[in-house]
Amino acid sequence: MISIEQRNHRKGGLFLLTGLVFFCIPILASFNSFSLEESIRRAGELRVVTQQTPTNYFQTDGDPAGFEYELAKSYADYLGVQLKLIIAPNLQGMYESLRLQDAHIAAAGLTRTPEREALFAFGPTYLRSATHLIYRSDDGFTPPTSLQDLPPEQLRVVAHSSHAEQLHAFKESYGPLSWQESDDEDVLDLMDAVNRGDLTYTLIDSIALETNHTFYPRIRSAFTLTSDEPIAWMLKRRDNGGLEHSLAAFFQRPETQALLETLKSTYVRHNDRLNMVDNLTFQTHLRNRLPALQPWFEEAAQQTDTSWPLLAAIGYQESHWNPRAVSPTGVRGIMMLTRGTARQMGVKKRTDPKQSIFGGARYFRRSHTRIPARISEPDRTWLALAAYNVGFGHLEDARILTQRAGKDPDRWDDVAEHLPLLTQARWYKTVKNGYARGHEPVLYVTNIQRYLKQMKLESRRQAAQSEYVEIESELPTQMPIRMPSTL
């Protein structure tokens, strides 16, 4: 039996408990709004889901890089935690990772669309991009001027992408339109298919078009479907634990804004720099920069049994012979060595030109000796240069793809045809080391070959000029001067 006193006491306790709950709800809700950020700090780990692409994330000789990687790493540093990347096979995989709380953030150049906003929250806009319909430029081909001009079933886009959402919206507003959606291809796969002529049209954002246009020279934009679409990181719609506030503060920092500008020039507009061989600039640097460095190139070449012009050409491709050159990915110096490579090669100060040149020479020699001895020159050197640029593992993957295609994996020209396949999921998923920016080592080797040719021509010119001066000094002052036959 319960006494009245006991009842009243229990009833009073119930009222007190109820009052405390209602009083604490706003406090608990406020605490919960910041709990995820605090739990990230306490756990010491920020989990970010992304995809392997030329702008998102990739590895070069074991070193991570990419626009989204660099930005996510900066945010992890801002929080004082480690960055853990989760690599999703496709867009749907990213969505699921975020829904299942495997990841705190999805960072992959994601367009902020109404359909996505219905399911997810977004951080601040950090890029804007237009959507283009692209086609292969051929003689006599007249591109369409609107989606309504497209023949049936000649347009294919990535499934679950913002481009697919745009097509559905267009169809609802303007009427019949047919297209295909692919779960097995990414944007680069479709861009490559258009460039080869296997696909007539696809949609691509302006950032991807600008980043990769050098690799697909026949690609043209027929028209712009949308403009100034916002790109942002994606979060859980509810219970994102104050990350929206934290990201707003992070992106407002002057340091983050400066980093964004650097990342744009590095990852979005880097290909023009990589592919450009500016003869005038090169000739100027030959006269003004190389002479001070040449003795170290020659000494390093002698120690490593390498050609000094080759080492000099590598140095020019890497830094334009600028000892203070620095990239956002952490490589620096004449030979642009990573911290890990510098440590392995015994380089204590990467911006010291002599140390950098000697370290780069040793690293190239190591790459060269890893190439099978049966491969003859110059193919062995070109393959070693590709490994120097993209990493030995990725080079081996390209050689495997070359062999599968019935071509010669020991011949540089054949391997160069297959290195770009490492940008496409249907190929890089079949090899050990996965995605790589396979176009870049091809351009890298091509540029170095051009620099070597120009250095050889300059050497001949100087030798001929020296012969001319010597002959002139031995001739009588009134005697007509003849140019040497070597000129």
Name residue, tokens 């479907």: 225
The three-point CA angle 179-180-181 to 5° equals: 130
Active-site residue set: 318
460 vs 6: CA distance, rounded Å? 109
Both tokens of 311, joined, read: 């080492």
d(CA 264, CA 163): 22
Long-range pairs for 60-64: beta carbons < 8 A, 24 or more residues apart? 60/389, 60/390, 60/391, 60/394, 60/436, 60/437, 61/338, 61/341, 61/390, 61/391, 61/392, 61/393, 62/340, 62/391, 63/329, 63/330, 63/338, 63/340
CB distance 57 to 70 below 8 Å: no
Residue appearing with tokens 């369409």: 144
| C-beta neighbour count of 363 within 10 angstroms | 23
- For the chain, the first-to-last Cα distance in angstroms comes to 120
**Cα(92)–Cα(471) distance, integer angstroms:** 75
Contact 200, 88 (CB under 8 A): no
SS3 239: coil
Kindly report the length of the chain.
487
How far lies 458's CA from each of 41, 111, 181, 235, 410, in Å? Answer: 58, 50, 54, 56, 31
Asked if 178 and 185 touch (Cβ cutoff 8 Å), the reply is no
Query: What are the CB-based long-range contacts (under 8 Å, 24+) for 363-372?
Result: 363/335, 363/337, 363/388, 364/304, 364/306, 364/310, 364/311, 364/314, 364/388, 365/304, 365/305, 365/306, 367/392, 368/306, 372/410
Helix (H, G, I), strand (E, B) or coil at 249: helix
CA–CA separation, 391 vs 59, rounded Å? 9
Give 158's strand partners: 182
Question: What is d(CA 50, CA 90) in angstroms, rounded to the nearest whole number?
Answer: 9
